[in-house]
Amino acid sequence: MLLLALATPMKAHSEELPVRGWIEEAKIYPEGIPVKAKLDTGALTSSMDAKDIGYFEKDGKKWVRFKVVARNSDTGEESVQAFERAVLRKVKVRGAGGADHRPVVSMKICIGNQLLDEEFSLRDRKNMIYPVLIGRKTLEHVGPVDVRRTFTQQPSCKA
């Protein structure tokens, strides 16, 4: 009986969130940079493609400079946007190619009509199809993922 009572609020919460596809159009704010995002239930932390990552100090804290390259899916035209963000922490990521340490920063991203302030590890994802990977920590706020669907809603957030 207790388990049933505890499960009900979680179910009600997940039914309030929209069902998303495994690939969605998104925008990085405040600039409104359009990107394709893979919603990946196998990843814990979200990750973003970042070029020319460089560290510096600001007000006694570690910060990072990086560039995000976005490709317009209609025209193929690239745009480059530079960012500076405080480093929240570093994560050690293990994969088939070994392990590496990545900075984690806070970024605003719009998926559908949801503007989320989430943590992203930064990595050059040039060999990856999708420049943004949305992990489980962010998916908790986005909603359930239907792997049979893609591009369920255009990003429509007000910055």
Domain presence at residue 9:
no
Domain span at residue 141 reads 18-150
Domain presence at residue 94:
yes
* pLDDT tens digits along 40-93: 998 898 999 999 999 999 999 999 999 988 776 667 778 888 999 999 999 887
Q: Residue 54 has what DSSP assignment?
A: E
Radius of gyration of the chain (CA): 17
pLDDT at site 136: 94
Domain presence at residue 107:
yes
Beta bridge partners of 117: 108
H helix intervals, 58-115: none
> Number of folded domains in the chain?
1
77 Cβ neighbours under 8 A, 6+ residues apart: 71
pTM: 0.82
Domain presence at residue 5:
no
CATH number at residue 94: 2.40.70.10
